[in-house]
Chains A and B, each alone.
Chain A
Amino acid sequence: MNNLQLTATDIRLGIIEAVFGAKSGHPGGALSSADILACLYFNELNIDPKNPKMENRDRFVLSKGHSCPGLYSALAQRGYFSKDLLKTFRHTDSILQGHPDMKYIPGVDMSSGSLGQGFSCACGMALSAKISGKDYRTYTLVGDGESQEGQIWESIMFAAHYKLDNLCMIIDNNGLQIDGKVSDVMNTMPYDTKLKAFGWHVIEIDGHNYDEILNAFKEARETKGQPTAIIAKTIKGKGVSFMENQAGWHGKAPNEEQYLQAKSELEAYKKSLEGGNN
C-alpha cells in the first residue's frame, strides 16, 4: 500500500513537471486521479510495458483526456517511456500531445480528449472481447463534468444493454469543472441512483483511499452480467495544497515559484512515506 502511495506521489511529481514544462495543461483533474492511476497501472491492469500492444492486455481509455499529464506520468513510471520525456509535454517536437494520441505514445490505447468520446471507444473494446471470447478487461476514467455530454449516457445505455461486465468505468468525482462547481454549472449528480436505474453495478469510494480503490476493482472483476461503475470521490488538485479544490487549477500551469512549492510539498510527502518504510 505504501509503495502505491509512493508511486502516486511520483506520478504527481511527473504531472507538475509536465505542466510546468508545457507552460499549459490540466493539473487539477490529473492530480485528483493520480491514486486511481497508480492502482490501475501498478496493481490492477494486466499489461506489459515491453509489449504495449500485447493482444490480450487489459485496456485503459482516459475519456477525460485533458488529464493526460497523469496518464503520461503513470506510463513513464511504469516504464513505457523515459520520465525525461514528461518535460517535453505539449512541445512541438514531442510525442506527448496535449491530449492522448494512440498513434505515437506507447501504452496509450485510445486517442481521446474531445469529451464524451473515449467512453464509447472503451465500450467497443469491451464488446470486442465478448465477441471473441477473450478475457481482457477494459477500464475507462470519466470526468464528472464530462458526464454532462449526452454521449456518456448513450454509452451507459449501450454497456448495460450488452451486459459488458468486462467493462469498468471510474468517475473521477472531484466536483469541479472550468466554470465552477459541477453542481452549479449543470448538476450531474446523484450518480448512484442514475447508474443503477440504467442497469449498472455501482460502487462508491474515496478515490484517495487505496484499500477502497483496490477492493472496488476486485468487486468489479467479480461482478457478472452488468458493467460496473466506480464513483470515486476525489479532491481536484490533490497533493498540492494551493491547487486543492480550486476550479482555477483545472487548466493552468504553475509559475516557477508555484512549481517549486508544489515540488517541495510532494517531495516532503514522499520523504515522509519513505520514512514510514524504515
Chain B
Amino acid sequence: MADKIATREAYGDALAEFGALNENIVVLDADLAEATKTIKFKKKFPERFFDCGIAENNMFGVCAGLSTTGKIPFASTFAMFAAGRSYEQIRNSIGYPHLNVKICATHAGISVGEDGATHQCNEDIALMRTIPGLVVINPSDAIEARAAIEAAINYNGPMYMRFGRLAISVINDNDDYKFEIGKAIKMADGNDVTIVANGMMVEQALIAKDMLKEEGISASVINMHTVKPLDVDTLISEAKKTGAIVTSEEHNIVGGLGSAVAEALCEVCPVPVIKHGVNDEFGRSGPAKELIEYYGLTAKGIVEKAKIAISLK
C-alpha cells in the first residue's frame, strides 16, 4: 500500500489538475482554503478562485447563480457548515432547480479530531440524501476522491461530496479500478455476510473480512461510495447470496449509509441489516486515531456486528 493521504488533499490536487483542462471550473471557499485544500486551485488559478468569507449561505447561493451561466462551481467548507448550516440554501437554491453545483465538504466525521463535537459532522449524509436529485458521494481513499471529482465535472447536476481531514490508506491502487457514479465496487466476494461500507470504513471492512476469514466466516465487501443514487441491484444480489448485511460508516447510524441500505432492502429483499457507525451521539475532542477507537469505528467493531447479522439469519 502507498503512503497515507487525506481525501481532502486528493480533492485539492484534483481541482488543480482538472482546473487546467476546463476553464468553466470555478472554486469558492468560506475562509477555509488552507484546510479544505482548495488553496491548491487558488495558487494555480487565482482568477477563478473566490473567497466568500465566513458566510456559507451566501456562498452556496452565489454558486447557484454561477451555475446558471455555465460555470461549474466547486464550493468548499467543513461538512458541518455545508450540509448543516446551509441545508436550506442547498435544498432550495441548488437542489430544487437541479443546478450544476458541486458541494465539496471536508472535515466530515469524528476523524476531525481535536476540534471536537461542534466541528465533527456525523449527520451530513443523512441531511443531503433527503434532497431529491442530489448525488451524494463518500469516497474511500485519495484515488477514489480524484475519480469522484473527475466524474463530477462530467456530470451535469448537483452533487455533495464528502472528504476527510485524516490521512488514510490508499486502497484503490489496482489497475482495473473504475469509478462510476451510483455503481458500487465489489472489493471482496464471500458467502456468509456482506459488509457494505464507504469512506474511511472501507479499509476497515477489508481488514474485518480477513479477521472473519480466520474464524471461518466468508465475507463480501462492497464499497458503496455513492449513497445516492444507491446501487440497489448490487445490494439485492448480495442479500440473496449471503442473507446478512453489515453497514459501516463514519457517520451517525441514523440516516446515513446504514439507513439507506436498510430502507432499500426492507422493500425488496428483507434480510438482517446491522448498522455500524457513530451510535447516535455527538463526538468529542481528541486525536483522531484515539477517537476512532473510542467510538469503535474499527475492523473489530465491524466483526462484532457481522456476527450479530449472521446470528439473525
Task: Give Cα A78–Cα B31 distance, bound, in whole angstroms.
Answer: 43
Name the A residues within 8 Å of B92 (CB-CB).
111, 113-114, 117
* Contact between chains at B71 and A131 (CB < 8 Å): yes
Beyond A113-B92, A131-B26, A151-B58, whether A124 also contacts B64 by CB under 8 A is yes
* Contact between chains at A157 and B55 (CB < 8 Å): yes
Beyond A131-B26, A131-B71, A158-B55, whether A151 also contacts B65 by CB under 8 A is no
Question: Of residues 114 to 133 in A, which have CB atoms within 8 Å of B's CB atoms?
Answer: 114, 116-129, 131-132
From A102, A103, A111, A123, give the contact of B62 (CB < 8 A): A123
Nearest chain A residue, comparing its CB with the CB of B71? A128
Nearest chain B residue, comparing its CB with the CB of A140? B65
B60 on interface, CB distance cutoff 8 Å? yes
Task: Give Cα A119–Cα B71 distance, bound, in whole angstroms.
Answer: 18
* Contact between chains at B53 and A124 (CB < 8 Å): no
* Contact between chains at B65 and A155 (CB < 8 Å): no
Name the B residues within 8 Å of A121 (CB-CB).
61-62, 64-65, 68, 93
A154 on interface, CB distance cutoff 8 Å? yes
* Contact between chains at A131 and B52 (CB < 8 Å): no
Q: Which residues of B contact A (CB under 8 A)?
A: 26, 47-48, 50, 52-53, 55, 57-71, 73, 88-89, 92-93, 96-98
A-B contact pairs, 7 of them (CB 8 A): A110-B97, A117-B93, A120-B57, A123-B58, A125-B68, A131-B71, A158-B58
Name the A residues within 8 Å of B59 (CB-CB).
120
The contact string, 1 if C-beta is below 8 Å from chain B, for chain A 157-177, is 110011000000000000000
Nearest chain A residue, comparing its CB with the CB of B62? A124
Looking at B52, B57, B59, B64, the one whose CB has the most chain A CB atoms below 10 A away is B64
Name the B residues within 8 Å of A150 (CB-CB).
57
Beyond A111-B92, A120-B93, A131-B26, whether A157 also contacts B63 by CB under 8 A is no
A109 on interface, CB distance cutoff 8 Å? yes
Task: Give Cα A128–Cα B66 distance, bound, in whole angstroms.
Answer: 6
Name the A residues within 8 Å of B98 (CB-CB).
103
Task: Give Cα A121–Cα B71 distance, bound, in whole angstroms.
Answer: 13
* Contact between chains at A125 and B52 (CB < 8 Å): no
* Contact between chains at B97 and A158 (CB < 8 Å): no
CB distance from A23 to the nearest CB of B (A): 24
Task: Give Cα A157–Cα B52 distance, bound, in whole angstroms.
Answer: 9
* Contact between chains at B58 and A155 (CB < 8 Å): yes
* Contact between chains at A127 and B66 (CB < 8 Å): yes
* Contact between chains at A120 and B60 (CB < 8 Å): yes
Looking at A102, A117, A122, the one whose CB has the most chain B CB atoms below 10 A away is A117
CB distance from A35 to the nearest CB of B (A): 26
CB distance from A89 to the nearest CB of B (A): 18
Name the B residues within 8 Å of A126 (CB-CB).
65
CB distance from B235 to the nearest CB of A (A): 31
Name the A residues within 8 Å of B73 (CB-CB).
124
Name the B residues within 8 Å of A109 (CB-CB).
68
Task: Give Cα A119–Cα B89 distance, bound, in whole angstroms.
Answer: 12
Looking at B55, B60, B68, B98, the one whose CB has the most chain A CB atoms below 10 A away is B68
Task: Give Cα A117–Cα B52 distance, bound, in whole angstroms.
Answer: 15
CB distance from A152 to the nearest CB of B (A): 9
Name the B residues within 8 Å of A125 (CB-CB).
65-66, 68-69
* Contact between chains at B58 and A120 (CB < 8 Å): yes
* Contact between chains at A151 and B61 (CB < 8 Å): yes
Task: Give Cα A151–Cα B57 distance, bound, in whole angstroms.
Answer: 6
Task: Give Cα A157–Cα B59 distance, bound, in whole angstroms.
Answer: 12
Task: Give Cα A161–Cα B53 distance, bound, in whole angstroms.
Answer: 10
Name the A residues within 8 Å of B47 (CB-CB).
131
Name the A residues within 8 Å of B64 (CB-CB).
110, 120-121, 124
Nearest chain B residue, comparing its CB with the CB of A114? B92
Beyond A120-B57, A154-B57, whether A127 also contacts B88 by CB under 8 A is no
